[in-house]
Structure 1
Amino acid sequence: MKKILILSSRIPYPLIGGDRIRIYNTGKVLSRGYKVDLACISEGEVRKEYVEELKEIFHKVILFSYPGSKFRWNAFKGIFSNEPLQAHYYYFPEVQNWIDKNFGSYDLIFAHHIRTAKYIEHIDRPKVVDLHDAISMNYLKAVKKVNGLWRLIYGIENRRVLPYEIKTINCFNRSFIVSDVDRNYFIEHGADQEKIITIPVAVKDEVINRSPQVKEKNQIVFLAKMDTLANRDAAIYFAKKVLPLLKKENKKIRFIIVGARPPKEVLNLGKIEGIKVTGFVKDPYEYLEASKVVVAPIRFGAGIQNKILEAMALRKPVVTTSLGAQGIKGKDGEHFLVADRAKEMTEKILSLLEDREKRESVGKKARALIEKEYTWDTIGEKFLTEIEQII
């Protein structure tokens, strides 16, 4: 049996966030036909039960753990190079030495993100990279939304990431991206169109297979990993710009912000009447199932939003922005509702809150779209087909 090594810049467990879900399920799919090992880098110690869970999927799990101070020192040193800071942030000589000694025993190396591509760009071996989304496109929008140190960091990355992404695409056998929008952006900037393949995000089986028994409440939910700038901005924007308008028409409406690692700015939103910030919860999908409407008021970012697909899989009507809907093979008004201004978003949410049949109709069509386009059975076959062509 042929062997594949997957490189990850974080341990893909627990399954919080789209990147972890994608790495975990990619390994699960590839294990159908190959012996798959996982080498991952962790910022801080990793709980043993997480490693044991991964061993159920991967043949071997090779873990490199370092304190956060070493990652930050790496990033500081990266200031004086021409490569992205994040490529330096996750680069450790010990990891490089292990790869240099062991890559010959693998038939293919699968890097996740540009953060691990640096380790194998010089290696003469079949290699692919899952870029997930166009980070450089995200930075173009995000740099205008940040201040202080983050503005400096995003400014540096904004100049460096795109050339590095293009270089990576052109020197790897294949590069994967989650949406055609991101793919076309890369091609316009010099990427070899034969080497970059769109493989969308998929919804994990546990969500697809749920049988909701929860009764709807008069609430709206936003589910996301709260330590990212785009999600933090979305939560604050909705709480301060949209919710007050909603309350004028529906005084008892509640807004639930669900997701791990909320920063202080998001936690403070919980002080506003009608808002609850949960932080990490064991089963976040109970909140989605109990809500009449799911929102994803994303104002900048790239790729496909996993949180939107998960809500659609649960037959929930989603109201998002044109950016949030970007890359999803659905229609506004049929599979989800799109609104880019606070007043318009308010009107579309109210139209759902006041009409149960409309909520059910949108939710039903959303679910059908997920079953057709965004399950791991469908996406997994695309990964396997591409890998088979290389090895």
Structure 2
Amino acid sequence: MKKVLIVSPKFPYPPYGACELDRAAGIEMLIKLGYKVYVITKVYSDEYKQTVRETAEKLGITIVSVGYKYLFLSLGQKIINGLKRLIQPWYWDGAAFEYSDPEIRAEVEKALDSFQPDLVWFDYTYLWPLYGSVRKKRIPIITRSINFEPRHFLEEDGRSVVNYIKFLPKLLTEYIVGKLSDTVCSITPNEAELYKKIGARRVVVLPLRGLPSGGAKAREARDHTPLNVFFSGSTYNVAHNREALKFLLAEVIPEATRQFPRQFIFHIFGRKIPVELAGYFSENVIKHNYLPPQKFEELMAMMDIAVAPSLYGAGMQQKIFEPLARGFPTITSARGLAGYPFKNGEHLVLAETREQFVSALGSLRDRNLRQELGTAAAKLSAAIFSKEKIEEIVKDLLKIIK
């Protein structure tokens, strides 16, 4: 049995958001494919270690957890670490500096000696300080990128002189990873091109591994009024989700309600909805905080239309691709497609402005149009995002193992 060591950041169980779902699905897929898996991951405190033990037992694998060190430092320790980073420009990316810590280095080296993996899979590019130990043993490295971090950083934090300075070490991180990894798995076609431009040795597009798959058959469009429209941003402490929510609540929903009274009920799903937005919710704008999976699925069965503005942000935004994979007629922004081949008017409706989103909602009152778009979206999603297709990509990636 071939062996894979996975080194991952924050422990992905329970998988609340897109990133955790992706990493958890990746672990479980390798187990399903018959690989012996060993995981090294980070936890915020000892209270998470019981969940780690329970998950390891359930999956039948070894999971080693290491505490985050640099989130809980005294002022003196922060100053010392700041000076260390200052004289080592490759660690100016603070996320990467966390993985220069001796404890996690020791755990990786221990696993390399005792587990003797045939491959090491790193989830996310800022783990590169650990690559040296792997390269010394001539073990292949696959790196999963969740986004092209320099671009993501500028879009999330804004473009300023200070942020362009911070951008440079993040770009250096991506360059280093491209050179040290045998394969970089980008999450979108557009980001694959960026990795190729900076000289990555091999780049393969690996979509989100945790998307639901309803197969090529779309849900049946219902003929009723009002229609249930939903936006699911996972968590609103992510800036691009928060701004998309504000755009919907403050601009799109009031205008849609004015133009099409009693035609729609809007549902907002996700955790950590900002308290300052509470005033926008009403009997036809309903807030759903985090829900258990069964309850979430029950509510999804009642939905008719997905709306998912993408104002900025990099990577593969689950709030767009999950509704498409589920076969919902979806209204979204062109930039959010990130190179995936969904076409306006064939698989979804594209919109940028308030007026365009409202107009799209009006057009989707047509049951036949909802059915056509949902069917086409489900069919294309099954071709590129289904578990079978993802497994095919992963199997091809693992051919690197001798």
Which TM-score bucket, shorter chain as reference? Answer: 0.7 to 0.9
Which one has the largest radius of gyration?
2
Out of 333, 341, 344, the residue aligned to residue 345 of structure 2 is 333
Out of 145, 156, 166, the residue aligned to residue 131 of structure 1 is 145
Cα distance in 2 between the residues matched to 1:308 and 1:296? 6
CA shift digits 1:178-229 (9 cap, x unpaired)? 11200112223x223x422212224545766999799775332111222211
Matched, 1:277 2:278: no
Answer yes or no: is the 8 Å Cα contact 1:203–1:375 preserved in 2: no
- Displacement after TM superposition at 1:304 (Å): 2.0
What letter is aligned with 1:311? P
What letter is aligned with 1:333? G
Partner secondary structure for residue 118 of structure 1 = helix
Would the alpha carbon gap of residues 298 and 55 (structure 1) be closer, same or farther in structure 2, given more than 3 Å must change? Answer: farther
Number of aligned positions between the proteins: 382
- Report what 2:320 is aligned to: 308
User: Please, what is the CA RMSD of the aligned residues?
Assistant: 3.0
Matched, 1:323 2:340: no
Matched, 1:182 2:196: no
Answer yes or no: is the 8 Å Cα contact 1:138–1:301 preserved in 2: yes
Cα distance in 1 between the residues matched to 2:60 and 2:313? 31
- Displacement after TM superposition at 1:319 (Å): 0.5
What letter is aligned with 1:18? A
| Percent of matched pairs sharing the same residue | 20
Cα distance in 1 between the residues matched to 2:9 and 2:390? 22
Matched, 1:191 2:193: no
- Displacement after TM superposition at 1:349 (Å): 1.6
Matched, 1:35 2:36: yes
- Displacement after TM superposition at 1:102 (Å): 2.4
- Report what 1:359 is aligned to: 370
- Report what 2:228 is aligned to: 219
What letter is aligned with 1:244? P
Cα distance in 1 between the residues matched to 2:112 and 2:273? 39
- Report what 2:272 is aligned to: 261
Out of 109, 126, 134, the residue aligned to residue 100 of structure 1 is 109
- Displacement after TM superposition at 1:36 (Å): 0.7
Cα distance in 2 between the residues matched to 1:13 and 1:72? 29
- Displacement after TM superposition at 1:250 (Å): 2.2
What letter is aligned with 1:385? D
- Which ranges in structure 2 are unaligned for 5 or more consecutive residues? none
Cα distance in 2 between the residues matched to 1:211 and 1:351? 19
Cα distance in 1 between the residues matched to 2:66 and 2:342? 41
Matched, 1:346 2:358: yes
Would the alpha carbon gap of residues 64 and 209 (structure 1) be closer, same or farther in structure 2, given more than 3 Å must change? Answer: farther
How do residues 117-156 of structure 1 correspond to structure 2 at under 5 angstroms? 117-123=128-134, 124=136, 125-144=139-158
CA shift digits 1:132-171 (9 cap, x unpaired)? 22121222322328xxxxx899555423211211111111
Matched, 1:235 2:245: yes
Would the alpha carbon gap of residues 297 and 106 (structure 1) be closer, same or farther in structure 2, given more than 3 Å must change? Answer: same
- Displacement after TM superposition at 1:245 (Å): 1.4
Out of 50, 56, 61, the residue aligned to residue 59 of structure 1 is 61
Would the alpha carbon gap of residues 53 and 112 (structure 1) be closer, same or farther in structure 2, given more than 3 Å must change? Answer: same
- Report what 2:24 is aligned to: 24
